[in-house]
């Protein structure tokens, strides 16, 4: 496998087309201020634990946990032709798994959580970023920032995908509303679609 895809192991900084996923729990910070701190961490870790499993099952690379947000990338360090579709399947599986997470939360007297998910596809610089004392495989590029802005625009229990992700998908995905977002630092507006599911 190393011989077949040596580029998969070059971490010094190269351009990669990736599909970026960002998830967060709507209102989690406010919720966290009304719960004992141990419950906040319990609630967060149950959600993050389940979502991590699903992202790994779909060969996603987890870039970061930031409070209640998860940033993951599909297509680096190793590219595959179905990066965007795996990301979309992963997002659908993550939303479905929230039902189970919330059943467990209810059973434990914890509040239910609503997750929002954003997907975007673009070219980024990928590399081993940091210092000798602390480094991580990370990403830089407008496509990262755009994903974060799409996430800001995403409603409860919703999945929004950008046009650039949609273009990489086969036809059998069901879409809902089309919206146009303006993003700081980007001249053209970003077109996004609600993803409703996959048809048979």
Give alpha helix (H) positions in 58-141.
83-107
Tokens matching residue 189:
């507006």
Nearest one of 36, 126, 32, 26 to 73, comparing CA atoms: 126
Residues 55-94: x/- map of binding to a second copy (CB under 8 A)?
A: -x-----x-xxxxx--------------------------
For 29, 84, 103, 112, the CA distances from 36, given in Å and listed in that order, are 13, 39, 20, 16
Options 1, 4, 81, 132; binder of a second copy; rule CB under 8 A? 132
DSSP 92: H
Looking only at residues 142 through 181 of this chain, which bind a second copy when binding is defined by CB under 8 A? 142, 144-145
* Residue count, binding to a second copy (CB under 8 A): 48
d(CA 8, CA 19): 16
Does 13 engage in binding with a second copy (CB under 8 A)? yes
Does 136 engage in binding with a second copy (CB under 8 A)? yes
Among residues 102 and 169, whose Cβ is nearest to a second copy?
Answer: 102
Options 30, 107, 188, 199; binder of a second copy; rule CB under 8 A? 30
3-state secondary structure (DSSP) of residue 106? helix
Q: How many residues are present in the chain? A: 200
Q: Which residues are near a second copy by CB under 8 A?
A: 12-15, 28-30, 32-33, 37-42, 44-45, 48-49, 52-53, 56, 62, 64-68, 125-136, 138-142, 144-145, 185
């Amino acid at each position: 496998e190393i011989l077949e895809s040596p580029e998969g192991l070059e971490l010094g900084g190269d351009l990669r087309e990736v599909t970026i996923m960002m998830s967060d729990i709507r209102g989690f910070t406010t919720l966290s201020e009304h719960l004992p701190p141990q419950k906040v961490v319990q609630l967060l870790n149950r959600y993050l634990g389940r979502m991590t499993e699903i992202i790994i099952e779909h060969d996603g690379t987890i870039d970061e946990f930031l409070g209640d947000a998860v940033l993951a990338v599909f297509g680096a360090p190793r590219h595959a032709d179905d990066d965007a579709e795996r990301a979309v399947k992963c997002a659908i599986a993550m939303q479905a798994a929230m039902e189970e997470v919330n059943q467990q939360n209810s059973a434990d007297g914890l509040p239910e959580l609503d997750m929002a998910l954003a997907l975007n596809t673009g070219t980024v610089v990928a590399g081993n970023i940091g210092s000798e004392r602390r480094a991580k495989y990370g990403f830089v590029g407008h496509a990262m920032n755009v994903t974060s802005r799409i996430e800001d625009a995403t409603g409860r229990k919703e999945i929004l995908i950008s046009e650039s992700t949609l273009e990489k998908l086969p036809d059998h995905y069901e879409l809902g509303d089309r919206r146009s977002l303006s993003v700081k630092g980007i001249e053209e507006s970003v077109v996004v679609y609600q993803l409703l599911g996959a048809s048979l």
